[in-house]
Amino acid sequence: MSSSSGPQPGSGPAVAPSAAAADPGDVQPSAPQLPQEDAESYESRHVHTVYEAIAPHFSSTRYKPWPLVSSFLLSLAPGSLGLDAGCGNGKYIGVNPAVYIIASDRSANLVSLARDYQPPFYNEGAPKSKGKAKNKAAAEAAPPPEPPKPSPKNQVLVADSLALPYRQSAFDFAISIAVIHHMSTRERRKAAVAALLSAVRPREGKVLVMVWALEQGNSRRGWDSGAEQDQLVSWVTKGSKTEAQEKPTDTTYQRYYHLYREGELEEDVVAVGGRVLESGYERDNWWAIFCRDS
């Protein structure tokens, strides 16, 4: 990795005060800050700690599934068992009610939100009465209204994508959306791909991964070929005003991202024994669908 022009790891926390107003999810990226300390510690500070802190705010901005991911999930055979590794707030759990998804995330606060997430086909409520009974006898004879369908807790647990706690070949499919780009070395990113491949059945099991692209020439972020692939991206939460403050102080968190160049995701899949079935680019992201042959 190339050297950083920003402050070195260990020189300060992953959070800093800011009075500037900004879009909460996509403010301008800071100068690159590369993991010269232990990768796990670096990610703890610039990924895991950040998502624990911003979980409710982050979740409120992540409610619409990616069309590509929805299409993949809706293409699966009814009764399929799947894994969502790095599920965030759980928005993909109910996209296809004909399949069953076990989800996990490294953030306990996001897992708590994902457990309570309910897809639209739950909580439709009791059927409404078509009119008042004509007399008391008719009212007493009428069956009671059907109660709302109970909303079961989703099967979501805290787990690291590099140490998935599942039996090998247990799943028919797996997805990992906007997760692996948070891993700060290529070896760790390849290990995350290998873990997903290990989780699905050989040959028939499919994995879908999406990651941020380096090539974002049309994006307001301004990245494109030739830019640094390792970036810190700001997330701003608005503070509350206190008596001692004239105006509230916002808080800026710095999240680590590796921006994938064209072809890099496919290279990593092949490097760990996977076979790419489809791949492409969608709205500043590279994606790949792949499997393992043994």
pLDDT at 20: 32
Q: Among 59-68, 181-190, 241-250, which stretch is predicted with the lowest mean pLDDT?
A: 241-250
Q: Determine the residue type at 49.
A: T
DSSP 93: T
pLDDT at 8: 35
Name the nearest CA neighbour of 112 among 51, 165, 60, 156: 156
Cβ-Cβ contacts under 8 Å for 125 (sequence gap 6 or more): 148
User: What percent of the chain lies above the pLDDT cut of 70?
Assistant: 72
pLDDT at 9: 38
Instruction: Assess if residue 84 is contained within a domain.
Output: yes
Instruction: Assess if residue 198 is contained within a domain.
Output: yes
Instruction: Assess if residue 237 is contained within a domain.
Output: no
Q: How far is CA 20 from the centre of its chain?
A: 27
Q: Among 19-33, 161-175, 268-282, which stretch is predicted with the lowest mean pLDDT?
A: 19-33
Task: Check pLDDT > 50 for residue 15.
Answer: no
Q: Determine the residue type at 278.
A: E
Instruction: Assess if residue 161 is contained within a domain.
Output: yes
Task: Check pLDDT > 90 for residue 164.
Answer: yes
Instruction: Assess if residue 267 is contained within a domain.
Output: yes
pLDDT interval class at 12 (50, 70, 90) = very low
Instruction: Summarize the confidence of residues 250-270 as an average pLDDT.
Output: 96
Instruction: Assess if residue 89 is contained within a domain.
Output: yes
Q: Which CATH number belongs to the domain containing residue 44 in this structure?
A: 3.40.50.150
More confident residue, 83 or 293: 83
Overall domain count for the chain = 1
* Residue range of the domain that includes 109: 39-118+151-217+260-292
Paired with 291 in beta bridges are 275
Instruction: Assess if residue 12 is contained within a domain.
Output: no
Residue 292 · residue 274 · CB < 8 Å:
yes
Q: Among 15-24, 40-49, 91-100, 206-215, which stretch is predicted with the lowest mean pLDDT?
A: 15-24
Alpha helices in the chain (DSSP H): 39-43, 49-60, 67-74, 108-116, 136-141, 186-199, 264-271
Instruction: Assess if residue 134 is contained within a domain.
Output: no
